[in-house]
A and B are shown apart, each in its own frame.
Chain A
């Protein structure tokens, strides 16, 4: 490993995993942490934390504040918990615009209100100019685990179906476009949203949902590879069933990105018993954040630990764990 931290160490791919395994986890090791879920389960409670450094701070469909609240809420919800309380830590750079800060905390409050979550404690620090980039936010959250629900890769079985809550790649495309001044059509904006209500409804319809993940950093590829590896199963996807907007596909073609690796901030992947897949789908489609939900694949016995994609022309190709930072290619 390189002796210094590279940007790719923070990109959610293989280098991030390496950093976690070699540096972070050995230092803090305990039986709860070892589960490596989005949230830790503590008796009847679940807890999680996340830090937000997104640039640009404001983007179509949200801002760093909305993201920081929704992200933590979603991490709790996919653990099978009802999010209840959040803490907020804000690090501000000297000279940051006060109106921008007001707008950011305003959208944090709105997101928390929508999700029925209270922000109950917090901290603010200011550092000198150049010591931070505008604003960084950390949030931590506590939720109550829902009775009778057990979200764990151990419950994943052959034949189970893979559900996805809607179009992928919108968030990453919006952010990349914002960062690089690309013009996008009106309908493309970040999907950043609190998904706890959607997940509640899904779990009410089928408490035996085996796995839930929000497909953030590393996108669908990372999340499904992690599930396949943790559960020791193969996952076979159907390319034609995965909802992708034409505009997002276009941006991916131009920049050389694989849409499966693009980050989302309002999309969940669920591994569900085959017999209740249709029922859960119809529940999802009734929720505003699951309108375009689709059945995208299934759990199979062969190629354990791997994810395959049946392409639109009928071949099957491997879907690898993303390696690191998304970088635009030359031509």
Chain B
């Protein structure tokens, strides 16, 4: 507690007399942790936190959801997924609605659970929705390897794994995105290593601080960002040394590159980003449902005032979207940012955003 107060005071002192500062927390877990701990309310007025594209559900596009729903409706298919994908609206429906209509959709806590489901349902085809960043991709890769080792032939991935660093590059190339530094995702850094973020300072001269998820850890990363601005020298600091090393988790990186290769990926709100996704290598094509049993979905142009795309890039705040809190609420979400518990809009709505005054 004493440390917390010291950190808060230090932030105030460092921010004092400076222009308005905007830091982006890239990761959805940070967004929620910041709201839950009430950090926004104790920061000085000229320090603003904006949320970035770090919620895997939020950046997954309609096509992917539509495909998952289409597979779930096929006879003898089971879709296994992390829970927060359930309510995400595709272009017309959601997996929760498909499940209510009879599709077999099961919530798992780890992709490895899907192997068990496959073994217990040998006559059915099991599809795991492999969505997420570098944090979850190694477990998906391990799942593929486990299925291969155990001779499981009825488990497939519908893959939309994404990578964080290429996305930060796109944000920095976007003139509409104005940030003075990044609070970098500790979980991602555990896997890919602190060094993977050095390009921020080296190439873009922008500050970064890798932070943990406790209030003190977030505050100390913010202190680090402010100190960098103070000194005029951009760096990428590792403020989560307890678990993040320079190189990251070598074993996890190894199985990642064993199973996956880097590919272009479609991001909701950001469009196609080169080399920002993962695709299973040809040796593992037998586990890629889109290659084993391709599915055609009808593309639907959705006309909507939803501004998730701009929210995800930190260009606008959720409250700037005309739908926020009116047509779009957690109970009837229009945009994906309102669906996931880690979605920017859902967090703003749930915790009252910046405007909440007790």
Contacts and interface: CB of A to CB of B under 8 A. Distances in A.
A327 B83 contact: yes
A32 B212 CA distance: 51
Interface stretch (A20-28, A56-64, A250-258, A276-284): A250-258
Nearest to B40: A315
A258 B84 contact: no
B38 A315 contact: yes
Contact of B1 (A15, A303, A312, A320): A312
A313 B4 contact: yes
Interface in A283-331: 302-303, 308-318, 320, 323-331
Interface string B50-89: 0000001100000000000000000000000011111100
B274 to A, nearest CB: 23
B276 to A, nearest CB: 16
B331 A311 contact: no
A313 B8 contact: yes
Nearest to B331: A14
A120 interface: no
A182 B330 contact: no
Interface string A252-271: 01011010000000000000
Contacts of A98: none
B324 interface: no
Contact of A255 (B40, B109, B136): B109
Contacts of B358: 234, 236, 302-303, 308, 316, 318
Interface in B72-114: 82-87, 96-97, 99-101, 107-110, 113
Nearest to B112: A181
Given A313-B8, A317-B352, A327 B37 contact: no
B351 interface: yes
B38 A328 contact: no
B56 A331 contact: yes
Given A6-B100, A253-B213, A328 B35 contact: no
Chain A contact residues, majority secondary structure: loop
B341 interface: yes
A2 B107 contact: no
B82 A312 contact: no
A7 interface: yes
A36 interface: no
A180 interface: yes
B147 to A, nearest CB: 18
Nearest to A236: B358
Interface stretch (B12-20, B127-135, B226-234): B127-135
B29 A331 contact: yes
Contacts of B133: 331
B97 A327 contact: no
Interface residues of A, number: 41
A318 B353 CA distance: 9
A298 B220 CA distance: 32
Contacts of A2: 97, 100
Interface residues of B, number: 53
Contacts of A4: 97, 100-101
Contacts of B170: none
B340 interface: yes
Given A256-B29, A318-B351, A328 B107 contact: yes
B22 interface: no
Contacts of A255: 109
A320 B100 contact: no
A8 interface: yes
A314 B6 CA distance: 13
B350 interface: yes
A6 B97 contact: yes
A309 B37 CA distance: 9
Contacts of B215: 311-313
A309 B356 CA distance: 12
Contact of A327 (B5, B41, B84, B131): B84
A327 B81 CA distance: 10
A331 B132 contact: yes
B280 interface: no
Nearest to A257: B341
A151 B85 CA distance: 41
A318 B356 CA distance: 8
Contacts of B41: 315-317
B231 to A, nearest CB: 26
B352 A318 contact: yes
B252 interface: no
Nearest to B333: A323
Given A256-B29, A256-B342, A325-B83, A313 B96 contact: no
B63 to A, nearest CB: 18
Contact of B42 (A180, A253, A302, A313): A313
A329 B100 contact: no
B277 to A, nearest CB: 15
Interface of A: 2, 4-8, 14-15, 18, 180-182, 234, 236, 253, 255-256, 258, 302-303, 308-318, 320, 323-331
Nearest first, the 4 closest Cβ-Cβ pairs linking A and B are: A315-B38, A327-B83, A311-B38, A315-B41
Given A311-B36, A311-B37, A330-B57, 9 more contacts: A2-B100, A180-B110, A311-B38, A314-B38, A326-B83, A328-B107, A329-B83, A330-B132, A331-B29
18 contacts: A4-B97, A180-B108, A255-B109, A256-B29, A256-B341, A309-B38, A312-B215, A314-B4, A315-B40, A317-B38, A318-B351, A327-B83, A329-B57, A330-B84, A330-B131, A330-B342, A331-B29, A331-B132
